[in-house]
Amino acid sequence: MRLSRSKIDLYLNCPKCFYLDVKKRVKRPPGFPFTINSEIDRLLKNEFDIHRAKHTAHPLMKAYGVEAVPFEHPKMDEWRDSLRRGITYPFPETDLIITGGVDDIWVNQGGQLIIVDYKATAKVGEITLDADWQIGYKRQMEIYQWLFRKNGFEVAETGYFVYCNGRTTQESFDAKLEFDIKLIPYRGNPNWVDGTVKEIWQCLCSEIIPDQNPDCEYCNYANNFGKVSSKEIIIEKKTEQLRLG
Q: Determine contact, residues 167/179, Cβ cutoff 8 Å.
A: yes
Task: Report pLDDT for 83.
Answer: 83
What is the total count of domains within the chain?
2
**Residues 99, 24 share a domain:** yes
Q: What is the pLDDT of residues 145-179, one digit of tens each?
A: 999 999 999 999 999 999 988 887 777 777 777 88
Question: Domain with 11 in it: what CATH number?
Answer: 3.90.320
Average pLDDT value for residue range 82-102: 93
**Residues 179, 104 share a domain:** yes
Strand order in the sheet with 158-166: 68-70, 104-108, 113-121, 158-166, 179-187
DSSP 8-state secondary structure symbol assigned to residue 155: B
**Residues 152, 141 share a domain:** yes
Q: What is the pLDDT of residues 57-66, one digit of tens each?
A: 999 999 999 9
**Residues 163, 149 share a domain:** yes
- Check whether 119 has a pLDDT greater than 70: yes
Provide the whole-model pTM: 0.87
Average pLDDT value for residue range 124-140: 88
**Residues 243, 127 share a domain:** no
**Residues 234, 143 share a domain:** no
Q: Which domain holds residue 236?
A: 216-245
* Residue 20 burial (C-beta neighbours within 10 Å; 0-12, 13-18, 19+): buried
Confidence band of 198 (pLDDT split at 50, 70, 90): very high
* Residue 45 burial (C-beta neighbours within 10 Å; 0-12, 13-18, 19+): middle
**Residues 143, 80 share a domain:** yes
**Residues 60, 21 share a domain:** yes
